Amino acid sequence: MQVIEQVPFEEYLRGVLPREVGADWPAESLKSQAVISRTYVLAMMNRSVYKDYDVTNDVRSQVYGGLQAEKPATSEAVEETRGEILVDGAGAPALSFFHSSCGGRTETPPYVWSDLQNPPTDFESIRDPYCRSDPYRSWARDISAERIQNRLRRAGYRVGTLRKISAAKESPSGRVWSFAVESSRGRILVPGNNFRLAVGPEVLRSTYLTDLRKKGSVFHFEGKGWGHGAGLCQWGARGRAQEGHTYTQILKAYYPNSRLVKAGSPGE
């Protein structure tokens, strides 16, 4: 059974923002999130015409908490930016990816999603020192070989007993573009973001790795940031707002080739 909720567009956004960012964050960072969340939904609606729904309510799209999640500060950010979106060079809603923390440098979408149709050209990989207050800017994790091989199998990869995992190729931003996985069944290449999602994005926080080695029955990962790294860095937007940047300046920093326009919302 598939349950699909239909909700007025701007009301939907009021249920998204408190689940994506802290309601106590600076107002300008909340407004930047309102614009990109609004833009993202419009872009996905254009790409979901053959589906029964436009977006999911979890991290596969953006997290939606409904009426009970609403907070005054985030609802105010939605209202103050009502109808404002980012558009690409052709005037269409930009595919405004975002993530929790870039760890100091953002990524471009083709290095995250190799199968992305019509990859957006609005992105550039930028250095971003503003997310330094993110508690997960640097992290370390030991993950058992058994968990990794089981998760890879569940994701459809034919692996045996794991022997070695290494970075086969890196993107220009320094993230692992593809992992080489060596097991008793041979060697395979797994796209970096696919590997992260298979292992668990809450466990392997990013592919921006600074160390990867095998220690007995576990693999030791060290890295920076949380998420795929493309588009707006939420902790970076928070840091920029704390430094006095307006939401329009924040958006321009992360989407330099997009334009901010007031286009209205569906149904208005």
pLDDT at residue 148, as a whole number: 97
CA distance 257 to 88: 7
Q: What is the pLDDT of residues 45-78, one digit of tens each?
A: 766 556 665 665 656 667 666 677 778 999 999 9
Average pLDDT, the chain: 88
Taking 90 as the threshold, does the pLDDT of residue 228 lie above it?
yes
Buried b / exposed e over 90-106, threshold 16 CB at 10 Å, is eeebbbbbbbbbbbbbb
CA distance 166 to 63: 32
3-state secondary structure of 130: helix
Q: Is the pTM of this model over 0.95?
A: no
pLDDT at residue 116, as a whole number: 65
Taking 60 as the threshold, does the pLDDT of residue 213 lie above it?
yes
CA distances for 108 relative to 4, 111, 123, 173, 186, angstroms: 32, 6, 6, 8, 31
What average pLDDT does the segment 92-108 reach?
A: 92
